[in-house]
Amino acid sequence: MLKIPVIVLSVSLLILKQCHAANILVILPYPGLSHFIMFGSLLRELTDREHNLDVVSHFSSMMPIERYNDIPIRGSVPIPTNNVSVQSARNFQGLHWIKELSTTNGVDICKNAFETSQLQNLKNSTTKYDLVITELFGSDCMLGWAWHFGTPSVVLSTSLVLPWASDRFGLPDNPSYIPSYLARSGDTMNIYDRIWNIWCVSMAKIMYYWYSTRPSNLLAKNFFGENMPHLDDLAYNTSLQLINSHFSIHTSRPLVPTVIEVGGLHIPGANAVDEYFNDVLNTNTRGIIYFTMGSQVLTETLPKETIQTMFDAFAELPYKVLWKANRTNLPGKLKYPDNIHFEDWFPQLAILCDPRVKLFISHGGMMGTQEAIFCAVPILGIPLYADQHSNIKKAESMGLALAIDYDDISKKSILEATKKLLNNATYKQNAQKISELFKDRSFTAMDTAIYWIEYVIRNNGTRHLQSASKTLPLYQYYLLDIGAVLVGIPIIVIILFVKLIKFLVGCFKIKKNLKVKTK
Ligand SMILES: *[C@@H]1O[C@H](CO)[C@@H](O)[C@H](O)[C@H]1NC(C)=O
Ligand SMILES: *[C@@H]1O[C@H](CO)[C@@H](O)[C@H](O)[C@H]1NC(C)=O
Ligand SMILES: *[C@@H]1O[C@H](CO)[C@@H](O)[C@H](O)[C@H]1NC(C)=O
Ligand SMILES: *[C@@H]1O[C@H](CO)[C@@H](O)[C@H](O)[C@H]1NC(C)=O
Ligand SMILES: *[C@@H]1O[C@H](CO)[C@@H](O)[C@H](O)[C@H]1NC(C)=O
Ligand SMILES: *[C@@H]1O[C@H](CO)[C@@H](O)[C@H](O)[C@H]1NC(C)=O
């Protein structure tokens, strides 16, 4: 549990209780389970605080609770849970991922969701909503609902600030010191890192506009009517963004009051494992290594040789390995070591926080990385796509993780890295230190999130909190106009001065000539 003095908690609860029960429309069209795990915990808490929710999502059955009205759109798009191969994940690296995100996970999702009868009917709803909550990810199309119902909007993000999520809040994202979402460097960047960083930030914004905003705007206007303002304008009027980062484990960067860090929102505090998994964790070896590539990517789709390589490496370790995979779907003719246990699914947080677990091997997804840090477990990262490279890089720089490049997977590299992480106590000590920092907060992530959502409802948006930088053109924001003046004035003075000298010299010569002539 996060440590908070009881008094602060009760005072905060008093403040929080003052918000009337609101009607909130929540639209979560992206079908990623890991995203919904974070949002789900927030929605549950909102209903606990007496708010009435209408929730459009793909994960209805997970939420049979009071004041939670489910509007399921499951089936409108393919669900990626346990349905992404390692190969296709690796195709989504770097900037290519932005295009993929904008189309498959942005525009296509909008298009299919808008076509469902659930959303068609919702348009005619007579409910008086106080707030629209949606996700900031592959498309802004669902911001149209805030306009449609005349409410403020709050957006949720499961990651660090996305490149296109800064300008609309006036959030500083200077690439000289703020590593972008796709950066592969830590906080200190050399000149090559900064070139890559500025390239990534600028291209990501341009690509997002081109591949997502433009077509999404057409779809949304088609759905909500031609009177709808441009999606970009609606995006610039978003009241609040809740992001899944925290300064203790991510970059220390300036934030505006409308962008609030709630990193670890999905981590309520770990329960003990149940009886079945308690048996699984029991071992007469030195402990447990837990290997997973998250809820989407199937480790079963790793190339057969890679799997055998990992088996051979694990066979030499005096540890028991838990591996998230359906054993029947692994390639044939593998030589299985005795110390690997397969499961389709693990209660991840409970497993990671069990004292028998010594090492987490993962692709470096944001949620899993935060959970490992919460439970103070060192990480061996094999990043595949999206922000996984930067997540692992950051964990590495904090001294609690090591990374292996996917192309460098070999028995030797795995054994070297795992032995280092398991035998050198520094990594565990660092993990414990960072874990303490991650939990050391004035308010829990959940209380922070609830406070700010209710703040938006109480104050009908956050117009009074908006940063003036949102309205500045780039040349003003970077003071290029002032620079031009500062450089320009001396130049003009010098030119005038030279002209004056020339003029005076000219006069002098004429005078001389005149004198000569009169002689
Ligand atoms: C898995 O992905 C494939 C390809 O995208 C898709 O056709 C299929 O519907 C998905 N499965 C589920 C259960 O959504
Ligand atoms: C919504 O209302 C409009 C106008 O009253 C009507 O034309 C349309 O058929 C309604 N749509 C649905 C799905 O009920
Ligand atoms: C955005 O907010 C400003 C200030 O409240 C308002 O003047 C403007 O009309 C809004 N724009 C849109 C597109 O809602
Ligand atoms: C594992 O995969 C097999 C074959 O595809 C399938 O029949 C079985 O239901 C899966 N097990 C689970 C628990 O999903
Ligand atoms: C343990 O790892 C740290 C950090 O990499 C290193 O500085 C230290 O020398 C290592 N200790 C041993 C005993 O190898
Ligand atoms: C909230 O703000 C919007 C946009 O400025 C405005 O149209 C609406 O009347 C306000 N609602 C209340 C209850 O003040």
pLDDT at 510: 81
Ligand 4 proximal residues by C-beta, below 6 Å: 326, 328-329, 344
Six token digits for residue 397: 């720089």
Q: What span, in angstroms and rounded, lies between the C-alpha atoms of 197 and 179?
A: 6
Check if 18-169+211-266+443-471 and 275-439 are the same fold. yes
Choose which residue among 237, 459, 462, 465 to substitute to test ligand 3 binding: the one with the highest number of ligand atoms within 8 A of its C-beta: 237
What is the CATH number that goes with domain 275-439? 3.40.50.2000
Angular region, 5: left φ>0, alpha ψ -120 to 50, beta rest: beta
CATH superfamily for 18-169+211-266+443-471 is Glycogen Phosphorylase B; (3.40.50.2000)
Q: How far is the CA of 371 from the centre of ligand 4 (A)?
A: 27
Q: How far is the CA of 177 from the centre of ligand 5 (A)?
A: 28
Strands, DSSP E only, in 136-231?
A: 153-157
Choose which residue among 83, 108, 296, 298 to substitute to test ligand 1 binding: the one with the highest number of ligand atoms within 8 A of its C-beta: 83
pLDDT at 3: 47
pLDDT at 63: 60
Helix or strand (DSSP H, E) at 340: strand 340-343
Q: How far is the CA of 378 from the centre of ligand 5 (A)?
A: 14
pLDDT along the chain (519 residues), means of 10: 50 55 96 93 93 93 79 91 90 86 95 96 96 97 98 96 95 92 82 93 96 97 97 97 95 95 92 94 96 95 96 97 96 95 96 97 96 98 91 94 97 97 98 97 96 97 94 91 93 94 89 74
Ligand 1 proximal residues by C-beta, below 6 Å: 78-79, 83
Six token digits for residue 180: 């972008």
pLDDT at 396: 94
Q: Which amino acid is at 270?
A: A
The arrangement of strands across the sheet holding 240-243 comes to 68-72, 52-57, 23-27, 131-135, 153-157, 240-243, 259-261
pLDDT at 514: 77
Question: What's the DSSP call for residue 297?
Answer: B
Residue 233 Cβ contacting ligand 3 at under 6 Å: yes
pLDDT at 507: 87
Asked if residue 46 lies in contact with residue 306, where contact means CB atoms within 8 angstroms, the answer is no
Cα–Cα nearest to 238, from 19, 478, 456, 516: 456
- Going by alpha carbons, the residue nearest to atom 11 of ligand 6 is 460
- Going by alpha carbons, the residue nearest to atom 10 of ligand 3 is 237
pLDDT at 395: 95
Domain boundary assignment for the chain? 18-169+211-266+443-471, 275-439, 477-518
Q: What span, in angstroms and rounded, lies between the C-alpha atoms of 31 and 355?
A: 33
Alpha helices in 347-410, H assignment, sequence order: 348-352, 366-374, 388-397
pLDDT at 95: 86
